[in-house]
Each structure stands twice: as C-alpha cells, then as structure tokens.
Structure 1
C-alpha cells in the first residue's frame, strides 16, 4: 500500500522555494534580505500546492518532475493554473487500452461512477437527518436520490446517465443548505455557484475540489493512466477529464463532509471571507490556512474500503481507485468498483 505522504500548502505571497541538498527550503525575500521560514526533508513531501505569487527554483522544478512529487500552482481563489509534469511514465500499453475502453465501454464506467456519487450524496443527507431531524427539503432530496439510484441500476445511454447526474446534483444542493446549521439567513450557502463562488460555502467547496482534482490527476499518472481521457467527462483540451470522473466519487466523502463540519463547528464564519467587486467570495489568508490544516487532518482518517476489505486512510483513496481502475482496464477486474459512503 502506498504511504500517505505529506502535502505542503504554500499560501504566503512572495515566498521562494528551492532545493538545498536533500531538503526543501522556504524563504521570504524582502528588499534583498532573506528570511528562512521553513526547512523540510524533501523526500517526505508527496505534493506541493502553491497559491498566489510563489516562486520556485529550476532545481526544485526538476526534482519534482523526476521524483513524481506533485507540484501545482493556483491563484488565491483556488483556480488551477499549472502543474509540473516530468518524463512520461507508466505502461504505454495500458494507456492504449484505456483509449479503447473509452471508445467502446465508457457509458458503463460512467454509470458506476455516477451511482457511487449519488449514493454518497444521499448518505450524507441521511446522516444529517438521523442526527439533526428531518425537513421537507431533506426528505424530498433523499427520496428522489433513491429513485435515481434505482434508475441507474439498468442499462442507460450516456446522455441519460449525464442527465441523471445533473438532476441528482440539483436535488442534493437544494437540500445542502439544510445541512449547514448556521445558514438560516442563506448567506453562507444559497445553491451551488462557481467561477466565481458567490458565498462562503461555495468558496471552500471550489477551493478544495480544485486541490483534490490535482491530487487525483497525480494518482492517475502514478499508475500509468492518462488523466485527460475520461468516461463521464469527455475530452476537452487542457482538462483532466478522468481526474474529474474520479473526483465525483470523492466529493461527498472527502470534501462536502469536511466543509459541513468546518461551518457547523464554528471553525469558519462569514467574517473569514471577503467579497470582490463582481461578487466573488474568497477566503482570507488565516482562514485558508485553517481549511488546509483541517483537510490534511481529514486525509489521515481511516475508513474500511469495502472492495479491498482493509482499512486505508482517506487521503489514499485517489491512489487506490486509480489502481482499481487500471486493473479493470487491463482486464484483471470484470467491473470497476467505485468508492461510496456507507450508511
């Protein structure tokens, strides 16, 4: 089993990252004066996520490319900008088979992924209803998601699967406002919005979805799959469609549950956000650090993987599911077993 390595989140504008022997050195340079902020063993870091104006030395870029350390760049709102990709690795025969499967049997894998997403979304709503009481919105969404799951049990066309995924998401987010207990006024969450997010909950969701998407892309490359060729999300230049496919499985288990906890426990509030001139909502620096700390802790939690029948850390899910998908594409598994939340 792959060891869950540390992820490093750089959110301080203007810092400089470089490699010094076997360590990663993080410095602040102001008017020619260097201040060392942190020095870490470089081989203990699995991923580096840079937000804002972060400078990285050519030596560190080269090391990340050669070692497979995932290095990604985002703007301060969490919008993905670029990542560092080294020499192409993995089995070329696996990628060729991936392309054949996408052409011949993409709808079935898309159906399985959407079923897992809907099941996890419904479980999250059911848990809230069990712990905090029901409401008309919750009951309506839970019942409709059950009906959609039943419809997804039969063979469908790609367009039907896509339509059911969209309808399920609409019902889920219509009830999601009920799950955020401090949202009585609707100011924290008022329906899913993106590019830019229009409220605090959407700001955190978009930020963490973006980070997790890049982690999934790295996991797919690690097993030799092409992250740009997906089953549910069709190819688009510059988009990691397969990473977006697997992200659907992890939204509720990894991100949505964490965001609900942060707001319901009072770890985040309206005062932790700013709104720009076009209505986009962004986390303040200190709040962003708290979010990443909570996310890193969330990834350390252990769950029992039903297919593997063993305990794994949540942060290993992208690597585990990428491995299982590769095994299915090779023909070692008859069906791809997607991950979903248990009741």
Structure 2
C-alpha cells in the first residue's frame, strides 16, 4: 500500500442514490445481475456499470467464492472493516514512525537544556517567545501526559470556539486515566460555553473549581513539566517559561494545592454567581479598601470593567459611601471583609 496517499484517497467515492438502489436490488436477488439492474432501474447501461464499480470499490459487492464471475452483496459492517484496515495500518505506521522520531530527538534534550546562549535559561528552564509555539507544546503535553494535569486559568470569558476545539483533546486525556484538576475564576460561571465545557469534563471525571482571585496562568503535567507566563515587565510580548526543574515544579504544585483548597467546586447544574456571590463581594470590598482603580479590580476578579463598576455602585449604595475607597473602609469597619458576614 502507498502510505503517501491521504486518507481521503484511500476511501471510495460517495454512493449515489442510484448505486444504493442497485445494492438494494442485489440484496433482494441475492446477487448482482447487470441486465436486471438495467431493466428495473431504467438507467443507461454505462450508469449501471458506474454504480456497480462504486459498490465494488465500497466493498459492498464482491466476487462469489461459489460462482466465479458473479458479484454478491456484502454486509456493510464487513465492508467498513475491509475499508478501514489499510487506513488503520497507515495510522499505526505513522504512530510508530513518530514515536521513533520522538525517542531519537529527545536524546538531544539534555544538551538543549544545558545551553547557556543568549535568550535561553539553564537549570531546567526554557524560554519560548512565540505564542503559537507555546500552544503547540502545551497541546503536545496534554496529548502525552499520563498521570496528572493541573491548570490555573485566570480571567473571565473564554473563547467559545477555542473551548469547542479543545474539548475532544481534553476529554481524551481524562479517558486515558489522567487526573485533571482545573481552576477558573468565579466570573466564568455565567458563561454558557464554559459551563457546557465544564459539564462535559466533569462528567468524564475531571475536577473543576473556581476562586475569586487567581495568580498567573499555569499548567503542570505529571509533576514533571510546567508552563508559566514569560512576563517580567508590562507590555512584554506573549510567551512562556517551560519548567522541568524538580524543586521549582514541587513549589508550583504546592502553590496550586493552596489555591485548590480555597476554591469552590464548579457545579454546572446549579446557579451561576449565586453560590459564590458572597465570596466575590468580599474580594471586591477588600480590593476597594486598598484604593485600587476599577480597571485593576476588574482584572483581579476576571470581569469586565463595566460589570465591576455595576457591582461597586451597588455596594456603595448599600453602605452609603460616596467614594470607592470610603466603601472599602466602611466595609472593614463594619467587619464585612469576611464571607461569613455576608451570608
């Protein structure tokens, strides 16, 4: 078989309604009879011949072992199996070739990680400057991790298309036994697309929680590989630091566990904000008490500035405060900066 051919080239053409009717006629008669097919269908002889050839290519007609020269109809399931075998063989070949290539190239990792050239880091750290390259490496890590995948994803709304594209890959990780724990911010609970994503992941066995505030984005795979943002100054181009150093990996895992312990389970069949509203209000009051600008507060809580200002206005009205800072101070004086006071 020519493995350079694409999967579409290995498949037969789509069957026309006329070919389907010819197949049904063959089922009724127990064999394909050319003259009968012409007479019953009313089709030109060349078109009946095309239908026959399409059915043979689809493995739905095959030569009879008992009567040479006679074509008999085949069970569609058997036809599917025969068509799939060369494609599955090609896939196996590609996987074996890719695994062999991966093993050969990974032999060079110690040399690559030990380099000290400008723009790189040694000691189990690697700097990736291109966002597309980072995404490619993260996707590969999701595909190859075998034990655990931890993620911290701050911010509010998520791209629905990106979520839909990621779901099959993420579910595959759960199905092969990877323990998946993900952290989002409370504000994601109102987004229908992420609730749908979380529902599918949770049903498969993933654990997902939300918190009022989270640190930077972080992914940890099998407690051996981590991705953290490459951001040493504002406005820096996107990128990531790839971490393989065991001590630093252990620190990041401990940090994740602290966030996880203080987060709340994301229950998709429950309310959106309602079961986290007290914690969200406490966090907002605490940030107001620090005198932070609306834009900073909104970013910390993963919500839009407009939504943030609406919450602030409601709180100011409740407290009878004339400024945001005064609202935060009054909340502190009244002992409202603990969630128990707001429940």
What TM-score, normalized by structure 1, do the two folds share?
A: 0.22
Please identify which structure carries the higher strand content: 1
What TM-score, normalized by structure 2, do the two folds share?
A: 0.22
The higher-RCO structure (CA 8 Å, 6+ apart) is 1
Q: For the pair shown, which has the larger CA radius of gyration, 1 or 2?
A: 2
